Structure 1
Amino acid sequence: MERTTLFIWLAVLADGLAGLTGGLLSERWLKQHLSTLVAFAAGALLGAVFLEVFPQAVEIAGLGAFHWALASFLALTFAEWFLGPHHHDHSAHAPGHPHHPEHMGTPSTVVPSLLAADALHNIGDGAAVAAAFLVSPQAGVATALAVIAHELPQEVGDYALLRAAGLSRARALLALGAVQLTAAAGAGAVLLGSRWVEGLEGIILALASGTFLYIGATDLLPELRHTASLGASRGRLLGFLLGLALVATAGVVERHMLGTHH
Structure 2
Amino acid sequence: MERTTLFILLAVLADGLAGLTGGLLSERWLKRHLSALVAFAAGALIGAVFLEILPEAVEAAGTGAFRWALASFLALTFVEWFLGPHHHDHSAHAPGHPHHHDGLTSAPSTVVPSLLAADALHNLGDGAAVAAAFLASPEAGLAAALAVIAHELPQEVGDYALLRAAGLSRVRALLALGAVQLTALAGAGAVLLGSQWMDGLEGIILALASGTFLYIGATDLLPELRRIQTPGAARGRLLGFLLGLALVATVGVIERHVLGAHG
Q: When the two structures are superposed, what TM-score results if normalisation uses the length of structure 2?
A: 0.97
User: What are the residue-to-residue correspondences of 1:123-202 with 2, within 5 Å?
Assistant: 123-202=124-203
Matched, 1:205 2:206: yes
In the alignment, structure 1 segments of 5+ residues that lack a partner are none
Q: How far 1:68 sits from its partner (Å)?
A: 0.5
Partner Cα separation in structure 1 for residue 76 and residue 206 of structure 2: 16
Q: Name the aligned partner's letter for residue 63 of structure 2.
A: L
Partner of 2:218: 217
Query: Residues 218-245 of structure 1: CA distance to partner in whole angstroms, max 9, x if unpaired?
Result: 0000011124211110000000000000
Query: Residues 67-121 of structure 1: CA distance to partner in whole angstroms, max 9, x if unpaired?
Result: 1001100110010011111222100011121122558931111000000000000
Query: Residues 148-185 of structure 1: CA distance to partner in whole angstroms, max 9, x if unpaired?
Result: 00000000000000000010000000000000000000
Matched, 1:116 2:134: no
Does the 8 Å CA contact 2:107/2:166 hold for their aligned counterparts? Answer: yes
Misfit runs of 4+, over 4 Å: 101-104
In the alignment, structure 2 segments of 5+ residues that lack a partner are none
Aligned length: 262
Q: Name the aligned partner's letter for residue 11 of structure 2.
A: A
Partner Cα separation in structure 1 for residue 75 and residue 127 of structure 2: 19
Matched, 1:251 2:235: no
Partner Cα separation in structure 1 for residue 228 and residue 189 of structure 2: 43
Q: When the two structures are superposed, what TM-score results if normalisation uses the length of structure 1?
A: 0.98
Aligned with 2:198: secondary structure?
Answer: coil
Relative to structure 2, which stretch is displaced further, 83-92 or 132-141? 83-92
Partner Cα separation in structure 1 for residue 106 and residue 164 of structure 2: 12
Does the 8 Å CA contact 2:86/2:220 hold for their aligned counterparts? Answer: no
Aligned with 1:197: secondary structure?
Answer: coil
Q: How far 1:37 sits from its partner (Å)?
A: 0.3
Q: Name the aligned partner's letter for residue 122 of structure 1.
A: N
